[in-house]
A and B are shown apart, each in its own frame.
Chain A
């Protein structure tokens, strides 16, 4: 188990403050945050490559806050892989094993095992600059795994790859993690990547951990506007929760009053996921308590699905499949009805 306790790190222009993370053995932990949030520095701090201002880091019951990086057994894979350009793929992978003065046969066995695991046996004699992005990433991963790390740190491992190899690499990360169960901390700015890979996700923003939870928690119950925006909940409104009597609670934003289910009161945020909104040319007769008429102002075509912006005001983004979009013969400027359940609105 690796733990940070009230960790503070100085990044010059801003600080990481009160970072409290607990990552269990064998867990795949995601740190999600926008570019420039200090994600890389957080990893470097955990690895011992960046000085701690205050707070502690614990690994398997021992405090390692000031321990030298070479004694931690925490390896890192950087976004651009940082392979040693003067060494062959093979020498890159066994770099850490040679430092450990392991026997020749032992090193050869580890090398075989790693290159087999990652499917890179054919690259051994090549120099890093002759490899593709995906290949370099696998070599970097092999090098990081070679020392049998207690914790593996991945710094945006998929961001530098083209979409195709990114998907393949994402599956590869999952597969390898399932097989080796190395405790992994993976930082990314990509929400979908986080959902797909993480057992737990910590959202990092404005120098702090905003929320920690399972992907489901973060996706369905963002605890702040920052997290919600990151969770791609596109419809986020600022407004006021008002009691209407008779157990009716509404959230008023601009000119719209949305029926909501919440115990919170006052000025808050509300969000509705685009896929939870039904769209129709005529009013729908359903049990859903929110139904409004608006105008389609923008259509974003994503192939098999489309995002329609419907202005009441405010603007609602709604997801429709291509089939229903074509059946309804929708176009910009059309008047449509949008309908969603009170329980589909998340107030925070």
Chain B
């Protein structure tokens, strides 16, 4: 406890106590639900095709959203980290808007653009993509609500890369592209990776916007709600537990990778 000159006094003890309360608040409900579950029922639930499909769809759709986010978000993050222009603060604020709006409202907003009666919806329909009641709809709902995590994290990562490293690489013969891929991107990769994991996890956990845009095919979070509404708590709980376990496993796995990377 006494690292970095940390001393225990009245204030720190109070802070530790307050911290413990919030830690319990986070862990107890999750732990209790997991621990109280009957392994047999959990296994049975996992064998249900509907459940497995829903969990798989959550993971898969969130992955597509995240890859799309990487392609479109990382370049923007780089621009925001490297340049100053009028309205930059406004754009940075804009990027965080999906975090602050209610996600059901976000779903409705998306419907107004990607719905089959609206412009983007009609345009995509021509190339065979429909967003309502489809995986594509789930993907854009996830993309919308989770992209801020990736952009913000990547931006911080790029900011930490000394501009002069890019400058040196240019003088050594690197084009702007080569400079980006050989210097900036590798050096920001840990932050980008952390942002990617956050975005993926946030995508898997999305509920509100998906509910509005694409109730079917059913992702895990919608399935939990569907079972709760239709059959009640006892039927919703095993699915919820499974979803929590999957998310935790993914999250812990990636955290470990990042942590190892930091130590190396």
Contacts and interface: CB of A to CB of B under 8 A. Distances in A.
Contact of A99 (B162, B168, B174): B174
B187 A85 contact: yes
B171 A47 contact: yes
Contacts of B182: 95
Contacts of A84: 165, 168-169, 183, 187
A70 B174 CA distance: 6
Q: In terms of DSSP, what is the predominant structure of the interface of chain B?
A: helix
Contacts of A44: 167
Interface stretch (A73-81, A105-113, A180-188, A283-291): A73-81
Nearest to A155: B164
A202 B68 CA distance: 53
Interface in A130-145: 143-144
Contacts of A47: 167, 171
A143 B171 CA distance: 11
A51 interface: no
B173 to A, nearest CB: 4
Given A49-B171, A99-B172, A143-B172, A82 B164 contact: yes
B187 A74 contact: no
Interface in A13-50: 44, 47-49
A202 to B, nearest CB: 21
A213 interface: no
Contact of B170 (A49, A80, A144, A146): A49
Contacts of A82: 162, 164-165, 167-168
B187 A95 contact: no
Interface string B166-190: 0111111111001000110011000
B171 A86 contact: no
A68 B165 CA distance: 16
B199 to A, nearest CB: 23
Contacts of A74: 171
Nearest to A153: B171
Given A84-B183, A85-B187, A86-B186, A99 B165 contact: no
Interface in A37-69: 44, 47-49, 68-69
A144 B182 CA distance: 17
Contacts of B187: 84-86
A100 interface: yes
A147 interface: yes
A72 interface: yes
A96 interface: yes
A235 B128 CA distance: 84
Given A84-B183, A86-B186, A78 B168 contact: yes
A70 B165 CA distance: 14
Contact of B167 (A69, A85, A86): A69
Contacts of B169: 84, 95
Contacts of B167: 44, 47, 49, 69, 76, 82
Contact of A69 (B164, B170, B186): B170
B172 A147 contact: yes
B162 to A, nearest CB: 6
Contact of B172 (A68, A78, A85, A96): A96
Interface residues of A, number: 25
B175 A70 contact: yes
Contacts of B186: 86
A146 B164 CA distance: 18
A288 to B, nearest CB: 53
Contacts of B171: 47-49, 69-70, 72, 74-76, 144
A69 B172 CA distance: 8
A129 B107 CA distance: 48
A146 to B, nearest CB: 8
Nearest to A77: B168
A95 B169 CA distance: 8
Most A-side CB within 10 Å, residue of B169, B170, B171, B183: B171
A12 to B, nearest CB: 11
Nearest to B170: A69
A146 B172 CA distance: 9
A70 B170 contact: yes
A47 to B, nearest CB: 5
Contacts of A69: 167, 170-171
Most A-side CB within 10 Å, residue of B167, B168, B173: B168
Nearest to B167: A49
A149 to B, nearest CB: 8
Most B-side CB within 10 Å, residue of A72, A96, A100: A96
Given A85-B187, A86-B186, A99-B178, A147 B173 contact: yes
A276 B97 CA distance: 72
A69 B164 CA distance: 13
Given A70-B174, A95-B169, 16 more contacts: A49-B170, A68-B175, A69-B171, A70-B172, A70-B173, A72-B171, A76-B167, A78-B164, A78-B168, A82-B162, A82-B167, A84-B168, A84-B169, A84-B187, A85-B187, A95-B182
Interface of A: 44, 47-49, 68-70, 72, 74-76, 78, 80, 82, 84-86, 95-96, 99-100, 143-144, 146-147
**Which 3 pairs across A and B sit closest by C-beta, in order of nearness?**
A96-B172, A69-B170, A82-B164
25 contacts: A44-B167, A48-B170, A48-B171, A49-B167, A49-B170, A69-B170, A70-B170, A70-B171, A70-B173, A70-B174, A70-B175, A75-B171, A76-B171, A82-B162, A82-B164, A82-B165, A84-B168, A86-B187, A96-B173, A99-B178, A100-B173, A143-B172, A144-B171, A144-B172, A146-B172
